[in-house]
Structure 1
Amino acid sequence: MITAAQEVLKKYFGYERFRPMQQEIISSVLAKRDTIVLMPTGGGKSVCYQVPALVMPGICVVISPLIALMQDQVKALAANGVNAAFLNSTQSAEVQYNIETACLGRAIKLLYVSPEKLLSAGFFSFLKRLQVNLFAVDEAHCISAWGHDFRPEYTQLRTLKEQFPTVPVIALTATADRLTQKDIQEQLHLQDPAVYISSFDRPNINLTVLPGRNRFNRITDFLDNHKGQPGIIYCLSRNTTESLSQKLSAQGFKAAHYHAGLSATARAATQDAFLKDNIQIMCATIAFGMGIDKSNVRWVIHYNLPKNIESYYQEIGRGGRDGAPANALLFYSYADVLAMRKMLSEGDKKQQALQLVKLERMQQYAEATSCRRRILLNYFGETLSKNCQNCDICRNPPASFDGTIHAQKALSAIARMLEKAPLGLVIDVLRGSRSQQVLEKNFDRIKTYGAGRDIPYNDWQSYLHQMINQGLLEIAYDDAYTLKISPAGKEVLLQNKSFALVKFEPNAATEEVAPVKAKSKKEVLKDELFERLRVLRKKIADQQNVPPYVIFNDTTLSEMAQEKPTSRPAMLSISGVGLIKLENYGEAFINEIISFVTDQQEQGNKVKGATHLVTLEAYKQGYQPDQIALQRNLNIVTIYSHLASLYEQGYAIDIKQFISASDYQKLEPTITKLGPEAKLKDYFDHFGGNVDYNTIRMALAVYKRKAKAVK
């Protein structure tokens, strides 16, 4: 079945091989085992259930929290030639009836529904009339009260296992700490699930935090350096989204705003304009973005501090989903912290306490003095062995000192307190406080009581934050927020492993943003072709009324601009170009690339493949190799080399002009024996000089083209 899955991957999605962990996850699903998948935004979660859905008989039901997400997924699948549909409250009764009829007729392979639709009266009865092969629960963190986006309706999804005990369930999310991961399994009543935790690392995203001063001018400077690149600016309030988009529009930027206070029609129109690249900048509250499958978002700016690391990580993950470079810029001020604390001081007391502690972790990230990527990964239980070199701290590191003794004092105190104390109480013990809580718990009697009385409270707070951020300590949210020593912390405490700390400096912030590097001529030409392909993509997308990334994502366009495929076989070798998209769009993009290459050749610019195409044009006009050589002032050997290469790539070269079928049959066994990569002289010598070089070239081209056809 994995072989079938690989065929589906290439045919419908255009990829030769699975990304890391996808094959193992798909194997688990095909074995009908419940599965939990934690994979960062843009890591390829959807493929983990879409491919099995297409391989197995029957229909896959996908539970998704947002209408926009369903619509995006269905449009993208349709562009890939997959029969998919969604059911939600925006559709008329007639439309829903037609979709249900298509499902009953086995014409639909993936059906997207909201939790509310799934749990509505009579829907389970309808599903039992289908051959359901898989339930996929997307954005599964919504089921956990410990998660950052808890949705009560998700908790009722446990009935899936009650109603369909033999149908496997795959739960997928991009953001879940260890507590949330455990809760997902328990809430969904999954049976001995296989758990796959991909790396949370998104090395293509550059991380920068800047002071909250003069934000608007900093943003316009940033946008000037990233012209034509779509991005999102997240704001805390609705008013800020509106005023900011108006100010940016007045400066000539294509900007719009989005928040929950707008009508559903206005939100849909704005989102559609952003997806189709009609606007480049979306100023939005957190109401925008979950599951928006726009692959070419090149940057995400946080105008204000997010309320927790999960939200922040999910939001910056909307940039660079295609794997190409992206920027995440966060503006931080303590005023934002106060505003967020006020917002969180309402509602359920247990949830309030949890959210305030998570806000403190977000604040620690903003004030960090060590590699920001390591902090993010540590939060999700992953260790990065070295600094990322793609964040502002790595580019401009603060001075550090050997903090091993300080760390050991803190770790020893926590251990002697039996890991039953929160951060503030640990500091009180280290500083020898006589507070009521210290005395009641007899913490004044432990050996490390007062061991750090010479260090100010704020410094200890900074040091403990650094120890948390760098993975020596963990906060147990389900155990009164007490500090727990991690395996890395035990190495420092028990094995005397050295640990560096940064001296506490209030309001320290680096001003350095990722430098803009000068581009080589080759890179400039690639960018020019990329832009032409982007314009073509937009034109085709507008004609078909779909977002441009549904045609091809930026990574695929970038590879086209790099490799310049000018034949169908060459185009099919580009990642993201499957058989369906090759048939639908291949010719248009090949023609655009050929046009670009020949334009550059006429301008005297050397471009990979250009000289071959000039030879091809002359050949098409009926000129013979010797005439082409004379016309182009090139050696006849070079022309034969061009024609052989063009034939190998799939161009319409009449190879019989240059080598007969009988001559090829005589040479083929020798090519098989020596190998197609052997030097021409090896063949020439093998035949004792009785076969000329041009015939050998043509024979090799035929051999290689046949080999590609077999693959």
Structure 2
Amino acid sequence: MAADPVSVLQKLWGYPDFRGVQRQVVDRVLGGQSTLAVMPTGAGKSLTYQLPATMLDGTAIVVSPLIALMHDQLRAAEAVGIRAATLTSVDENKAETRGRFLDGELDLLYIAPERASTSDFRDLLERGRVALFAIDEAHCVSEWGHDFRPDYRLLRPLLDRFPGVPRLALTATADEHTRADILDQLGIPHDGMIVAGFDRPNIRYSISPKDNTTRQIADLIRDTPGAGIVYVQSRAGTEKMADTLRTATGRPVRAYHAGLDPEVRRRNQADFVASEDMVICATVAFGMGIDKPDVRFVAHAGLPKSIEAYYQETGRAGRDGDPAVAHLFWGAEDFARARQRIGEVEPARQPGERQRLNALGALAETAGCRRRILLAHFGETPPEACGNCDNCLSPPAAVDATETARKYLSAVFRTGQSFGATYIEEVLTGKSSERSLMNGHEALSVWNIVDGEEVAMLKPVGRALLLRDGLRTNPHGGLEFGPAARGLIKGEDTLKLVIPPKRERRRRGDQAANPVNDPLFEALRTRRRELAQEAGVPPYVIFHDSVLREMAAVRPTTLHALGRLTGIGQRKLDAYGEPFLRVIREN
């Protein structure tokens, strides 16, 4: 272990130096200290165990929750020259992998938590040499985490069988409570935690009320070149959304959910990982096992489960550091359904679930910086404005809609708390119908009391009342009072309404990989695509777009000059240097 970590970094990955807290984590691992590293997605978590694994005597055992994720990381590790293998239920070379481990020929061995807790695997490890235990997606060990996996709870006995081997737990999404639980469950000292922060400055956060969601998402896809993920709340919804978007945008769009034929699901995932412009419409299960760095946008066609889930799902965009978009589309009915679900869980969990939903409501409803609310939720103290969310880029107007809200609530009450939003609006605006005549509602004091510019405020006021729990929906779709109605009616509370600015269509290509339309860059991308197909790997495994942009800008003419670019290590220089130099010479 005489080599210097920076020299190893430069040789294997071609990076001039570590980023953020990577060096702190690597130094702790090399020093034999157990550590919990909380690092945002895209901050290079995998490097913090991959690099030490090449320097330590023995094999680093990496516990990872999904087979697809392991195979993605295996490809990336092998591409830079790391001796790695997976031991999963779908691997046909299990005996060969065991032999390589026992012979000391592996730097990394990826394993699922289910296999890691078996006695057979413990016996295998005791016959070889283990240098490090790395537990990826470590929030899965905590019941407080949003992706709790019981098999992670069974890891502690395995770790304790190797008391001299350091433990490195890694996660991007863990609040203070979850972090403490991870430390306890994995036996890591509480002073062994490094928190890098949660900010992903390259992601632009936008949140909009639903107004024909499919059309809104189609507009987003047209405006945003590159691969993207659209999260849909139901299996049937993913297929319907994919069919509609495919027709509306002309882009390749596929569906992904657990109910698909396994071969179709596998093919759709593999094609998406390899694609540079495919859109996948999926349930939220999709993405955790995808290590695809060039996702340019993530759209939510409905409400995520929590801010933690939202952060993790949006974090699948822009892992390569290039600009990316996260756009959430929400409706009042999303909050109404979420509140109904809270009422169905055991009473002890309801206060926590209600708090999580209120936090999402604050994020959706704010006229201020979205990133500020997001980061504050994880205990950070961010600046007032980030400059890269919809509200910072185009500040919305905030109007006092308290009086309109009182009229709305009054109409709900006087019509018997049994009618839906459309009928309430008809009563308030005096739109006569057979129903209003039959019910005698045209004689009510609330009949036709809203006109002029105030009419346009009714829909957003109704949405805001549902979001704030001033209104709830009954099983038949009728509106009834929620707990927050009382304060508004009595004049104790106010309702501020955020009026978003009119949407301006951005020029297609504003966030494209090739912002200056350089023909050399496109030629390099084409060659990368060809090499990726020949090697059977996704294009980003060859080089990221940022590397190709630097090639196009610098135009190196020798292998030595090419090797000085950021992100080109020795193994990739040897494998791909000449083909890319030929493209540069010919263009």
Counterpart code for 1:6: V
1:13 partnered with 2:9: no
Contact 1:208 1:513 in 2 (8 A): no
Distance 2:505 2:222 in 1: 14
1:127 aligned partner: 125
Distance 1:355 1:530 in 2: 48
Give 1:106-185 correspondences, 5 Å limit: 106-185=104-183
Structure 1 or 2: more helix by fraction: 1
Contact 1:35 1:194 in 2 (8 A): yes
1:249 partnered with 2:240: no
1:475 aligned partner: none
**Unaligned runs of at least 5 residues, structure 2:** 400-460, 469-492
1:446 aligned partner: none
Counterpart code for 1:63: V
Q: In the superposition, relative to structure 1, how do residues 20 and 527 fare at CA in structure 2: closer, same or farther (>3 Å)? A: same
Q: In the superposition, relative to structure 1, how do residues 593 and 344 fare at CA in structure 2: closer, same or farther (>3 Å)? A: farther
Distance 1:289 1:192 in 2: 30
2:230 aligned partner: 233
Counterpart code for 1:47: L
1:259 aligned partner: 257
State which of 568, 575, 578 in structure 2 corresponds to 1:584.
575
Q: In the superposition, relative to structure 1, how do residues 182 and 277 fare at CA in structure 2: closer, same or farther (>3 Å)? A: same
Distance 2:140 2:369 in 1: 29
1:293 aligned partner: 291
Give 1:330-369 correspondences, 5 Å limit: 330-343=328-341, 345-346=343-344, 348-369=346-367
Distance 2:266 2:282 in 1: 13
Q: In the superposition, relative to structure 1, how do residues 594 and 123 fare at CA in structure 2: closer, same or farther (>3 Å)? A: same
Q: In the superposition, relative to structure 1, how do residues 525 and 373 fare at CA in structure 2: closer, same or farther (>3 Å)? A: closer
2:476 aligned partner: none
Q: Compute the displacement of 1:503 (Å).
A: 7.7
Q: Compute the displacement of 1:511 (Å).
A: 4.5
Deviations 1:479-527, CA, capped at 9 Å, x for gaps: xxxxxxxxxxxxxxxxxxxxxxx984346445546954998xxx76554
Contact 1:36 1:194 in 2 (8 A): yes
Deviations 1:595-617, CA, capped at 9 Å, x for gaps: 22xxxxxxxxxxxxxxxxxxxxx
1:204 aligned partner: 202
1:574 aligned partner: 565
Q: Compute the displacement of 1:2 (Å).
A: 8.5
Q: Compute the displacement of 1:263 (Å).
A: 3.0
Distance 1:350 1:60 in 2: 41
Give 1:600-639 correspondences, 5 Å limit: none
1:25 aligned partner: 25
Distance 1:375 1:388 in 2: 11
Q: Compute the displacement of 1:363 (Å).
A: 2.0
2:544 aligned partner: 553
Deviations 1:245-283, CA, capped at 9 Å, x for gaps: 111222322000101112332221111000110761011
Three-state SS of the structure 1 residue aligned to 2:15 is: coil
Distance 1:573 1:77 in 2: 20
Three-state SS of the structure 2 residue aligned to 1:45 is: coil
Distance 1:514 1:169 in 2: 49
Deviations 1:83-110, CA, capped at 9 Å, x for gaps: 1011111234xx2111101111111110
Deviations 1:314-360, CA, capped at 9 Å, x for gaps: 11111111111111111011111223344555555444543342122
Three-state SS of the structure 1 residue aligned to 2:204 is: strand
Q: Compute the displacement of 1:292 (Å).
A: 1.5
Three-state SS of the structure 2 residue aligned to 1:298 is: strand
Three-state SS of the structure 2 residue aligned to 1:128 is: helix
Distance 1:346 1:86 in 2: 41
Contact 1:12 1:578 in 2 (8 A): yes
1:270 aligned partner: 268
1:449 aligned partner: none
Three-state SS of the structure 2 residue aligned to 1:232 is: strand
Three-state SS of the structure 2 residue aligned to 1:272 is: helix
Distance 2:503 2:543 in 1: 34
1:51 partnered with 2:51: yes
Q: Compute the displacement of 1:148 (Å).
A: 1.0
Q: Compute the displacement of 1:213 (Å).
A: 0.8
1:638 aligned partner: none
State which of 539, 564, 576 in structure 1 corresponds to 2:555.
564
1:64 aligned partner: 64
Distance 1:564 1:60 in 2: 38
> What TM-score does the superposition give when structure 2 sets the normalisation length?
0.80
**More divergent stretch after superposition (198-207 vs 337-346):** 337-346
1:39 partnered with 2:30: no
Q: Compute the displacement of 1:173 (Å).
A: 0.2
Three-state SS of the structure 2 residue aligned to 1:531 is: helix
Distance 2:344 2:150 in 1: 18
Contact 1:209 1:509 in 2 (8 A): no
Give 1:309-328 correspondences, 5 Å limit: 309-328=307-326
RMSD of equivalent CA atoms? 2.7
Distance 1:216 1:58 in 2: 52
Distance 1:309 1:548 in 2: 32
Aligned positions, number? 498
Distance 1:353 1:101 in 2: 52
Counterpart code for 1:38: V
Distance 1:561 1:318 in 2: 27
Deviations 1:545-582, CA, capped at 9 Å, x for gaps: 11111111122222223323232222112111001101
1:669 aligned partner: none
Counterpart code for 2:74: V
**More divergent stretch after superposition (280-289 vs 585-594):** 585-594
Contact 1:232 1:282 in 2 (8 A): yes
Q: Compute the displacement of 1:78 (Å).
A: 1.1
**More divergent stretch after superposition (18-27 vs 550-559):** 550-559
Q: In the superposition, relative to structure 1, how do residues 304 and 527 fare at CA in structure 2: closer, same or farther (>3 Å)? A: farther
Deviations 1:407-435, CA, capped at 9 Å, x for gaps: xxxxxxxxxxxxxxxxxxxxxxxxxxxxx
1:648 aligned partner: none
State which of 522, 534, 540 in structure 2 corresponds to 1:531.
522
Contact 1:568 1:582 in 2 (8 A): yes
Distance 1:396 1:278 in 2: 30
Distance 2:505 2:142 in 1: 36
State which of 294, 306, 309 in structure 2 corresponds to 1:308.
306
Distance 2:148 2:16 in 1: 37
Distance 1:173 1:298 in 2: 22
2:434 aligned partner: none
Q: In the superposition, relative to structure 1, how do residues 518 and 79 fare at CA in structure 2: closer, same or farther (>3 Å)? A: closer
Contact 1:295 1:554 in 2 (8 A): no
Distance 1:383 1:25 in 2: 23
Q: In the superposition, relative to structure 1, how do residues 341 and 88 fare at CA in structure 2: closer, same or farther (>3 Å)? A: farther
Distance 1:365 1:212 in 2: 15
What percent of counterpart residues are identical? Answer: 42
Contact 1:255 1:279 in 2 (8 A): no
> What TM-score does the superposition give when structure 1 sets the normalisation length?
0.66
2:186 aligned partner: 188
**Unaligned runs of at least 5 residues, structure 1:** 402-458, 467-501, 597-711
Distance 2:504 2:141 in 1: 37
Distance 2:25 2:230 in 1: 34
Distance 1:114 1:7 in 2: 31
Three-state SS of the structure 1 residue aligned to 2:376 is: helix
